[in-house]
Chains A and B, each alone.
Chain A
């Protein structure tokens, strides 16, 4: 009896897997070349406003070092 319950559990899991795979197999996909082109255009559009990529003036940088004044 317990092995039957075990088997029906396995079946339930297997059915869920099959159902999930059906959903995943049916989604619409685009070509990798198109997807990559979109990623690239996003990067170039936003590159100018990316402080870690372009750098920001030290005067605007909230994390610039607080250095003691040097006496020359």
Chain B
């Protein structure tokens, strides 16, 4: 069918290249070697025509997208009130992993966290108390993906073993979790990310083998596979349940693809990043998604406008983004970076509203809690941190030789904070004072 399509294209638009088939067939009755040569010429021409059509379609796509590009997001957002600067603080530090923390996920109960590490351990924590509730040792190192089941009764994880396994969590602390392990997904390369769908029954996985796949947990059966990435797929995120059966994936081919889960079809593709896409996350409304990449930028893509609508970057930020997530309203975008910091962006205005230090090695994973009260980060420094914001910076008042920094607390039942100094202190000293008083 496709052969006919482009033949028509040739006949209609490129008459000088037209060759009728019957003449070809007559020529092909000659000895074997010239026949193969002719067929090869034929195949090469077919390839050339397909490539030309592909280029034409690509430029048509760009044209269509550009036609609707009438304004930038930050221009539309000019009338929105600015956020000012936040001061964020680490509230809990979870220590226990013996090596780099690679991935983490929150339980729907807003309290428990599952994390996985290079040392092969998967730990379930109570983030309120920092206690470890469960620990499993995987048969492989570099457990790059882990996810909590929606019911809170199981966790899924995988990595260099090329599999995704599900462990039911038992209330009995002494029970050996590894005994009940269920192998669900099988890829031909490392597992980079996994996520349960709306129930405990299905898992979506992405892999270094360039594919994503949907599996039935009970039978381990492959329900749908998603082909289209040209290199390792590093991340995925499911659309919020109200918006339907789609998910987005990002890969080493610098592309972010949006897929239909039922048909396996790639419905939209975005290629504006300049390096590997390490993390993708849907905007809470489901109409857009953010991505974080090794090119040190985060970008926002709108699905209905079918294009990138914002870039979050600064000249001073040169290290890659490993993970991104939105706050509950979608106004804030949190990014974990390879320079050990967390940068928080105003999604609408494109400006940075906070920077958080604390980790002693690169931040590898970041998730906002399900009720949006805090966000958790995991790092190569073997720890996880749970953070939230404590102050908004209002401004500086100068009085003769004194300057006063004024902060209003994020918590309305706490008093405002004023710090006075005889000279402009270093930002790090200022933060020490703020933390002591919270």
Counting CB contacts under 8 A, is B150 at the interface? Answer: no
Within 8 A of A (CB), among B5-53: 6, 36, 39-40, 43-44, 46-47, 50-51, 53
* B245 close to A (CB within 8 Å): no
The answer to whether A69 has its CB under 8 Å from any CB of chain B is no
Contacts of A17 in B (CB 8 A): 50, 54
B328: chain A residues within 8 A (beta carbon)? 46, 49-53
Q: Tell me if A14 and B50 are in contact (CB < 8 A).
A: yes
Cβ A52 vs Cβ B128 within 8 A: no
For residues 49 through 68 of chain A, which have their beta carbon under 8 Å from a beta carbon of chain B?
Answer: 49-59, 61-65
- The interface bits of chain B over 76-103 (1 if a CB of A lies within 8 angstroms of the residue's CB, else 0) are 1100100100000001100000000000
Asked if B57 contacts A32 (CB within 8 A), the reply is no
- The smallest C-beta distance from A46 to any residue of chain B, in angstroms, reads 4
A7: chain B residues at CB < 8 Å are 40, 43-44, 47
| Chain B contacts for A29, CB-based, 8 A | 64-65, 68, 304-306
In the bound complex, CA of A3 to CA of B43 (Å)? 10
Main secondary structure of the interface of A (DSSP, over half): helix
Contact assessment for B47 and A11 in the assembled complex, using a CB-CB cutoff below 8 Å: yes
Residues of A within 8 A of B287 (CB): 35, 38-39, 42
A11 touches B306 (CB 8 A): no
B413 and A25 within 8 A (CB): no
In the complex where A22-B57, A32-B309 touch, is A50 in contact with B331 (Cβ < 8 A)? Answer: yes
Which A residues are CB-close (under 8 A) to B309? Answer: 32, 35-36, 39
Report the stretch among B205-213, B264-272, B396-404 that lies at the interface.
B264-272
**CB neighbors of B among A12-27 (8 A):** 14-15, 17-25, 27
Task: Evaluate whether A50 and B71 lie within 8 angstroms (CB atoms) in the complex, with A21-B58, A30-B304 already known.
Answer: no
A63 touches B386 (CB 8 A): yes
B329 near A39 with CB under 8 A, answer no
Given contacts A35-B304, A55-B412, contact A10 B47 (CB under 8 A): yes
A40 interface hit (Cβ, 8 Å): yes
B326 to chain A minimum Cβ distance, whole angstroms, is 10
Q: Are B373 and A52 in contact (CB under 8 A)?
A: yes
Tell whether B180 is near chain A: CB-to-CB under 8 Å: no
Q: In whole angstroms, what is the CA distance A25 to B375 when docked?
A: 38
With an 8 Å Cβ cutoff, the count of chain B residues facing the other chain is 77
Query: Which residues in A have their C-beta under 8 angstroms from that of B64?
Result: 25, 29
Residues of A within 8 A of B53 (CB): 18
* Cross-chain pair count, CB within 8 angstroms: 198
B238 at the interface (CB under 8 A from A): no
Hey, which bits of chain A sit against chain B, CB under 8 A? 1, 3-4, 7-8, 10-11, 14-15, 17-25, 27, 29-40, 42-47, 49-59, 61-65
Q: Say whether B438 contacts A24, CB under 8 Å.
A: no
Find the A residue at minimum CB distance from B77.
A40
B431 within 8 A of A: no
A18 to B285 CA separation, bound complex (whole angstroms) = 31
> Chain A nearest CB: distance from B113 CB in Å?
12
Query: In the bound complex, what is the Cα–Cα distance between A34 and B50 (angstroms)?
Result: 35
Q: Would you give the 0/1 interface string for B293-335, flagging 1 where the beta carbon is closer than 8 Å to chain A?
A: 0000000001011110100000000000000000111111000
Contact B54 A36 (CB under 8 A): no
Asked if B119 CB lies within 8 Å of chain A CBs, one says no
Name the CB-closest residue of B to A36.
B76
Given A32-B307, A39-B302, A55-B410, 19 more pairs with CB closer than 8 A:
A1-B36, A4-B40, A7-B47, A25-B57, A31-B70, A32-B68, A32-B71, A33-B70, A34-B304, A39-B330, A39-B348, A49-B329, A51-B328, A52-B374, A53-B332, A56-B410, A57-B413, A62-B128, A63-B373
Contact B36 A32 (CB under 8 A): no
Q: Flag if A42 contacts B330 (CB, 8 Å).
A: yes
Residues of chain A lying within 8 A (CB to CB) of residue B223: none
21 A–B contacts, CB within 8 A, in A order: A11-B43, A11-B50, A14-B54, A18-B50, A23-B265, A31-B68, A31-B305, A35-B287, A35-B302, A36-B302, A39-B283, A39-B288, A42-B284, A46-B329, A50-B329, A51-B328, A51-B388, A62-B373, A64-B91, A64-B411, A65-B91
